[in-house]
Amino acid sequence: MAADMLSTVIKPIHKEGYKFISIFAAVTVLLFLIWQPLGWVGVVLTVWCYYFFRDPDRQTPIRDGLLVSPADGVISLIEPAVPPAELEMGTQALTRVSVFMNVFNCHVNRAPIGGKISKIAYRPGKFLNASLDKASVDNERNSLAIEMPDGRKIAVVQIAGLVARRILCEVEEGQVLATGERFGMIRFGSRVDVYLPEGVEPMVALGQTMISAETVIADLTSPEPRRMAEAR
């Protein structure tokens, strides 16, 4: 029982985080040597750094047709938009679902659905607040097109944010991903967009909290209309 309780607090760390945690810890030691209250500030920041780079396992639904959230965070936008031109997915507007991650969310990104990565395209850009609509166009981004077994594609776009300065993509073109499989992360606040296939309605609402690889964004097999929600 104690082990179970411990596992809810102590999580695995993404490999990208070890160097940052080490730097924060080293600075904390120096701060203690300078002035003890500063050292405790360093302790808090080091714990936050560990927490930021956590990489917990998730329980991913495995029924065919379910599309899950690629990131932890909240739904900041749901609107029609054309996928990034560099993915060469056409000029037709599709439903775009945006998940905004703040600096307290887990920032490991996961595949919303299983399939082959048909294209990966990186584009440099600005570092505007990732919650803004224009961040999809102006900000630095890394885009993936995932081709499902039935031939349809979805676009997944990692977007840098106001303080984010590195997008990490750990997969390659031609690689096959399972639903919920890790494919990268973004450091220190950002956003991930998912472009749904034509005719597919989202099963989430603005402001809804997402859990990466667990929360279902859409069901490709369902005729259910777009869901609505209200704060309570």
**Catalytic amino acids?**
190
Interatomic CA distance for residues 142 and 131, integer angstroms: 16
Written in H, E and C, the secondary structure of the chain is: CHHHHHHHHCCCECHHHHHHHHHHHHHHHHHHHHCHHHHHHHHHHHHHHHHHCECCCCCCCCCCCEEECCCCEEEEEEEEECCCHHHCCCCCCEEEEEEEECCCCCCEEECCCCEEEEEEEEECCECCCCCCCCHHHHECEEEEEEECCCCCEEEEEEEECCCCCCEEECCCCCCEECCCCEEEEECCCEEEEEECCCCCCECCCCCCEECCCCCEEEECCCCCCCCCCCCC
**β-strand pairing of 176-177 with 216-219:** unpaired
